Structure 1
Amino acid sequence: MPRNVVVTGSGSGIGAALTAALRARGDRVIGVDLRGGEVDADLSTPEGRATAAAAAQEEAGGVVDAVVTCAGTSVPGTAMVTVNYFGTTGFLTALRPALAAADRPRVVAVGSISGTQPVDADVVAACLADDEATALTYAERAVTEGRARQLYPSSKAALAQWARRTAVAEGWASAGIPVNVVAPGIVLTPMSAALFDDPEMKKVMDAALPMPLNGYLRPEDVAAAALFLASDENSHITGQVVYVDGGAEVTLRGPGHF
């Protein structure tokens, strides 16, 4: 029987690759994106998240078998907090009852290897306190101080911590809902193609994020990991950050970190 799988950011990149893979195996995908999905929504606001969750739940007939959150932005600014973190956690929390109604529900969030990099501790703390107003205040401070790029690793580090905490929380594990994060390294997309074509920029990226196993990723490589974690076969893996990064995390942090 087809499963109802909600995918945010379904229109491009990892979300589009995952949507294609899910449909190829017979699942019903309810895509959520700014435009062109089964549900058009702006996840950067509390109202947008609530509307999107309600619409996705209605599309699924009240029962959601899996949610994979691929929506996010890498453009430096406060949207890195409102979309990457709250746009994921708020949306997932709103859909928890519909997930709990499924026989074998699954949750996968797309994080990033960047979550291992230096962060704005105030932003991370406010995110984990579910205090969006304060998180935005600190994010705006980072932008003013010329540290806007630090908001990306901050949002992804906070997301990983939220997933690990939520995975064993009441109403999630007790409802049979595994919660995991897929954290990719450098992914080749049409938007990033120009960077890889620049030899000097490529040297900078390779030095900052070495990927000794098979080099850069395709969106399909990340989607494959998410596909398994969102599947029926994943019965006991939860609270994990799975680095799909060609060995970057091990190279940067060393074999003693696990």
Structure 2
Amino acid sequence: MGHEERTYVVTGAASGIGAATADHLSAAGARVVQCDVRDADVTADLTTPAGRELLVSEVTRRTGGVIDGLIAVAGIAAPSPRTVRLNFFGTIATLEGLRPLLAAADRPRAVAVSSLSAIVAADEHVVDACLSMDEEAAATAATGAVEAGLGRVVYPSSKLALNRWLRRAALTPGWAKAGIPLNAVAPGVVDTETAHKAFLDDAATRALVSAAMPQPLGFPGPVAAIAALLAWTAGPENSFMTGQILYADGGAEATLRP
């Protein structure tokens, strides 16, 4: 029961975890529709309503309206309201927009990428605005956090809101009753180009991050491990797990929440 003859959509597929996941699935014989803002089969900016609509229409056109798996990886970690627009609203627009294509498949699965950082820090104003589905209020709250010198909490806040939305949504008729497991994978710090640019290449910042998110199995972790877990979660064998946040973080969550 493998990935062959299944069609997957992967967002954020041009780099990092998304690229590794697309490669993993392709190597297993699956058809992968890669989506990103560059170097992809479908080029769309998920921070905008127009980009979200374009993603759905282009994926529908390319797949004939049926997909077996959806892996929503696209995200950024900038101290900016764009982070909330992409990580929360763009991800939900992707999941909800492509849900009818999943419902048309025999063994549909969906998984989003969260983050270990959601348990480390968050701004409840950003989280609450997200969960009330008020994108402009959430963007305003994110801007307020940045102006208050708390820009670093925008990313984890977007992921915490995503976790809470997903736990609720997974149980609703559109997902569970339709037979579509919906889960999230929450990586710790893994060895991606983005992580290197953001903090791994700077010794002082690297030390701070590794102290805040201790990973007994290694820091940073391997990207391939995240890709394999995402592929399994979106694969046919995962028929009975839904609404879960899977921490693939080298033991950090267990360390921080013993």
Work out whether the TM-score is over 0.5. Answer: yes
Following superposition, the deviation at residue 92 of structure 1 comes to: 0.9
The verdict on how the C-alpha distance between 1:64 and 1:126 changes in structure 2, with shifts beyond 3 A counting, is same
- Equivalent runs, 1:174-253 vs 2, <5 Å: 174-193=177-196, 195-253=199-257
> Separation in 2 of the partners of 1:216 and 1:137?
33
> Are 1:36 and 2:39 counterparts?
yes
> Separation in 1 of the partners of 2:201 and 2:119?
26
- Equivalent runs, 1:82-93 vs 2, <5 Å: 82-93=85-96
Aligned to 1:49: 52
Following superposition, the deviation at residue 75 of structure 1 comes to: 1.5
User: Cα RMSD (Å) of the superposition?
Assistant: 1.3
Q: Which moved more, 1:56-65 or 1:186-195?
A: 186-195
> Separation in 2 of the partners of 1:199 and 1:71?
27
The verdict on how the C-alpha distance between 1:142 and 1:197 changes in structure 2, with shifts beyond 3 A counting, is closer
Which consecutive unaligned segments of at least 5 residues does structure 2 have?
none
Q: Which moved more, 1:176-185 or 1:194-203?
A: 194-203
Work out whether residues 77 and 149 of structure 1, in 8 Å CA contact, stay in contact via their aligned partners in 2: no
The one-letter code sitting in structure 2 at the alignment partner of 1:24 is A
Q: TM-score, normalised by structure 2?
A: 0.95
Q: TM-score, normalised by structure 1?
A: 0.95
Work out whether residues 11 and 35 of structure 2, in 8 Å CA contact, stay in contact via their aligned partners in 1: yes
Q: How many residues align?
A: 254
> Separation in 2 of the partners of 1:149 and 1:140?
11
The one-letter code sitting in structure 1 at the alignment partner of 2:109 is R
The verdict on how the C-alpha distance between 1:136 and 1:30 changes in structure 2, with shifts beyond 3 A counting, is same
SS at match of 2:194: coil
SS at match of 2:160: helix
- Deviation per CA, 1:184-224: give whole Å up to 9, x if none: 00111233336435443332222111101243212211111
The one-letter code sitting in structure 1 at the alignment partner of 2:168 is R
The verdict on how the C-alpha distance between 1:214 and 1:144 changes in structure 2, with shifts beyond 3 A counting, is closer
- Deviation per CA, 1:94-116: give whole Å up to 9, x if none: 11111101111100100000111
The verdict on how the C-alpha distance between 1:214 and 1:139 changes in structure 2, with shifts beyond 3 A counting, is closer
Which consecutive unaligned segments of at least 5 residues does structure 1 have?
none
SS at match of 1:191: helix
